[in-house]
Structure 1
Amino acid sequence: MGAPINLSTQPAPQAKGHSVRESPDYTPMPWTLKEIRSAIPAQLFVRDTPRAILYLVRDLLMAAVVWKLGLQIDPAFRHSRVTSALTATGAEVARWAAWCAYWWVQGLIFTGIWVIGHECGHGAFSAHKWVNDIIGFTTHIFLWTPYFSWRISHHRHHSNHASMERDEVYVPKTRTDLGIPKESEGHHMDYDDYFGDTPIYTMYMLIRQQLLAFPAYLLFNVSGQKDYPKWTNHYDPNSVLFTKEQRNVVIISNLGTAAMAYLVKAACAQYGASSVVKLYGIPWLCVTHWFIMITYLHHTDPELPHYRKAEWNFQRGAAATVDRDFLGWWGRYFLHDVAHFHVIHHFFPKMPWYNGEEATKYLKEFIGEHYAYSNKPVFSALWHNYNECQFVEDEGDVLFYKNRKGEAVRRPAQRLAPPPQEST
């Protein structure tokens, strides 16, 4: 079936003037979802509620311990014995170093708690819907995510991933969207006129994406489907994102968000805004950063296809994502392998995350070259993909990103077999 594709070892760009770099032609996978599922042992799909609860309890205990340590940072480093031993300047430097350590660890712990809420949204935490909804709602509202509203749009994303017409997030911009004229035979296109950004500007845009993209998506549908009305958002019960039957759960999510806003306001009044920002606000900002970085790198890579029309099906869309060695053991332990084994999650969202590693072994063996993995350092991958993934063409049913020079690293095979039909 071919070796899995390793995105970190793909060929470098060839000489200028070629719109497609040298790499093997791409042919979408031929199997049905039923065939793929049958290759994975049935016991890996079983959800173990007590085991999932233990993971949640572990995360909550870690958050509580780290929070308690955070409360000691300012008093400890402002104590006269510490300032005498380190000098006032040394104690101040050590104090901020301790806060940075707190934000790093607590940010990862909070993100892990968010990931558990995400698993609840898929029904992967427990076979009992009420357990999923109570834990998912509580953990997500704590981190400013409208659980039911986001669950609805996220389910639609999974159901339509990599479809240009129907996916909910990270939908590529087209040549027309960016106002780039079509290349003509014998005419040199100067893409610098459209992508002449400096590295400093690119860094600014990346930082803005990392810190603001998730709130912007919830509030303004940024990076979502372009055909939605202008004011589409996750807080309007009458939004195009929701059906009339879903209106009440959207309102419940809004009430939870309002309650969280009240609690934060009350905490600021009692403990001071500075303490709330340091103990809670900045770790929450880290959650938005890690979440956006993880999902962006899952779904945005020049090696991964997007599909139009009849070339798309669920399993082809599921394979159009990539597993990444995200932060090494930090990512594995604190983030529940959400980035390490994401491909299997797109195939089978209800599979418990703690079975992802074993299930991925079977998936890789079955789909071979259609499984994508990268061990490239994730911050390097973020910079690379942000520059390489600029737009896709207006024509074609199997699409690959082009970069700032109008080059793509892959191309679809000339003759494509039609998508397989699921047997009934």
Structure 2
Amino acid sequence: MSKSQAKYSEDELPEFSPMKWSLKEIRDAIPPGMFVRNTSLGLLYLLRDIVLAATAWSIAMRIDPFFGRDEMKTLLTPLGAGCLRWAAWAVYWWFQGLIFTGIWVIGHECGHSAFSDYKIVNDCIGFVVHSWLWTPFFSWRISHHRHHSNHASMERDEVYVPKTRKDLGIPDSPQHETDWDELFGDTPLYTLFALIRQQVLAFPAYLLYNVSGQKNYPKWTNHFDPNSILFTKDQRNAVILSNIGIAAMVWGVSHASAVYGAAQVIKYYGIPWLCVTHWFIMITYLHHTDPILPHYRGKEWNFQRGAAATVDRNFLGWQGRFFLHDVAHFHVIHHFFPKMPFYHGPEATKYLKSFIGQHYHYSDAPVFSTLWKNYNECQFVEDEGNVLFYRNKKGKAVLRPADEYKIKVENKEL
């Protein structure tokens, strides 16, 4: 019998046991210098990003005049000049999108107070750069903090909470043979459409409609309502201030469109911003979604186990490291210690990896093919059990909890 025809058995999967160390033990393995924040260095990184963005913008202003010259049309033909013009714009959108994402990452650092020892510096810079990129800074910071505080908890995490068998209406009965093709038999073309939709719309949908968040929140839960369940009464003014920042952007973009034309605003700013939402969602999705990453219920969850349920990825190679401030390459250490500045991530990760060993996850697989693979492989988790792993479109997992953590039901065979 071929491997593809062999019967699937849960008992034959590799076992997983949650790590036992306390957060203090893990922190003690990291040199104290890794936790030091340098405001001047952070400001230099921000200045670098602003200079890069301004330089890219300045170069882009020359694209249309250059390829619109009669000499270029004569040399390349009008069609050739037009094709090269749009190719130049594509290069601008790619790099400006990465630069903008790096600026967003600086705001993210401010949200964690990792940018500076001074609260006023973190608040002011985070508010400005995130508002400029259509993120309600203080509102997002509140929910993002809860995500870090509860990551991989099925009951309390704020984002990328897996759907369960019950959520998808998948029967779990030995007497009922599941028709997996009927449940998940989407065509590759539709799956591609759904994935692209996720990449473009998921972050705005999360802010506006709590998409991928806790399903027990009331309908219309969002980041713009000061009375939302996401916030306490004491946080109301912070939410209103975030909304003022977004309202200022609405006015600014509307005014720029009236003065320069909507097409110009879209070309120089709009498409790079769409790239930010794509990169941000792709990075965070791949950090938190993988068949090898556990989720927990009840007493089996703790902060350090949730922090370890993430994966570092070689995201776009040198471009990801330079433009994105290592946010994808060294994310696991960030979940353990969110206030650690990003520029200490590479060195601190060496100590973390040495201490937690097999509980540290890293992948250098190509990220776009991994995005497709994980989008198809990570479908749901079980309704029972306190240590859970994603199952694919055939109901199969790649790991199982060790015997002491197993679901107390019959072994599933497919």
TM-score norm. by structure 2 comes to 0.96
Q: Secondary structure in 2 aligned to 1:126?
A: coil
The residue correspondences of 1:23-62 to structure 2 (distance < 5 A) are 23-62=13-52
> Where does residue 288 of structure 1 map in the other structure?
277
Change (3 A) 1:93 1:234: same
> Where does residue 71 of structure 2 map in the other structure?
81
> Where does residue 245 of structure 1 map in the other structure?
234
Does the CA contact (< 8 Å) of 2:161 and 2:212 recur in 1?
Answer: yes
The residue identity in structure 1 corresponding to 2:197 is R
The residue correspondences of 1:256-275 to structure 2 (distance < 5 A) are 256-275=245-264
Instruction: Name the CA distance, whole Å, in 1 between partners of 2:208 and 2:330.
Output: 29
| Aligned counterpart for 2:117 among listed residues 123, 127, 132 | 127
Matched, 1:177 2:177: no
Does the CA contact (< 8 Å) of 1:143 and 1:284 recur in 2?
Answer: yes
Higher RCO (C-alpha 8 Å, min separation 6): 1
The residue identity in structure 2 corresponding to 1:177 is D
The residue identity in structure 2 corresponding to 1:117 is G
Hey, which bits of structure 1, 4+ residues long, moved more than 4 A?
13-16
Instruction: Name the CA distance, whole Å, in 1 between partners of 2:276 and 2:9.
Output: 38
Instruction: Name the CA distance, whole Å, in 1 between partners of 2:11 and 2:54.
Output: 51
Instruction: Name the CA distance, whole Å, in 1 between partners of 2:11 and 2:260.
Output: 58
Unaligned runs of 5+ in 2: 407-414
| Aligned counterpart for 2:381 among listed residues 380, 392, 401 | 392
Change (3 A) 1:162 1:38: same
Task: Tell me the CA shift for residue 82 of structure 1.
Answer: 1.1
Does the CA contact (< 8 Å) of 2:387 and 2:405 recur in 1?
Answer: no
Matched, 1:98 2:114: no
Task: Tell me the CA shift for residue 22 of structure 1.
Answer: 4.5
Change (3 A) 1:276 1:35: same
Task: Tell me the CA shift for residue 405 of structure 1.
Answer: 0.3
Q: CA RMSD, aligned part only?
A: 1.2
Matched, 1:344 2:317: no
Matched, 1:146 2:136: yes
Instruction: Name the CA distance, whole Å, in 2 between partners of 1:169 and 1:19.
Output: 31
| Aligned counterpart for 1:297 among listed residues 274, 286, 290 | 286
Give deviations 1:376-411, integer Å, cap 9, x for gaps: 100010000000000000000000000000000000
Instruction: Name the CA distance, whole Å, in 2 between partners of 1:335 and 1:19.
Output: 41
Give deviations 1:292-315, integer Å, cap 9, x for gaps: 000000000000000000000000
Instruction: Name the CA distance, whole Å, in 2 between partners of 1:151 and 1:221.
Output: 15
> Where does residue 66 of structure 1 map in the other structure?
56
Task: Tell me the CA shift for residue 20 of structure 1.
Answer: 3.5
Task: Tell me the CA shift for residue 188 of structure 1.
Answer: 3.5
Instruction: Name the CA distance, whole Å, in 1 between partners of 2:160 and 2:5.
Output: 29
Q: Secondary structure in 2 aligned to 1:125?
A: coil
Unaligned runs of 5+ in 1: 1-12, 418-424
Instruction: Name the CA distance, whole Å, in 1 between partners of 2:116 and 2:211.
Output: 31
> Where does residue 216 of structure 2 map in the other structure?
227
Task: Tell me the CA shift for residue 25 of structure 1.
Answer: 0.3
> Where does residue 410 of structure 2 map in the other structure?
none
Instruction: Name the CA distance, whole Å, in 2 between partners of 1:14 and 1:391.
Output: 22
Instruction: Name the CA distance, whole Å, in 1 between partners of 2:6 and 2:131.
Output: 50
The residue correspondences of 1:153-168 to structure 2 (distance < 5 A) are 153-168=143-158
Q: Secondary structure in 2 aligned to 1:415?
A: helix
Change (3 A) 1:93 1:408: same
Instruction: Name the CA distance, whole Å, in 2 between partners of 1:70 and 1:281.
Output: 14
My pick for the range that moved more, 17-26 or 317-326, is 17-26
Q: Secondary structure in 2 aligned to 1:284?
A: helix
Instruction: Name the CA distance, whole Å, in 2 between partners of 1:190 and 1:319.
Output: 34
TM-score norm. by structure 1 comes to 0.94
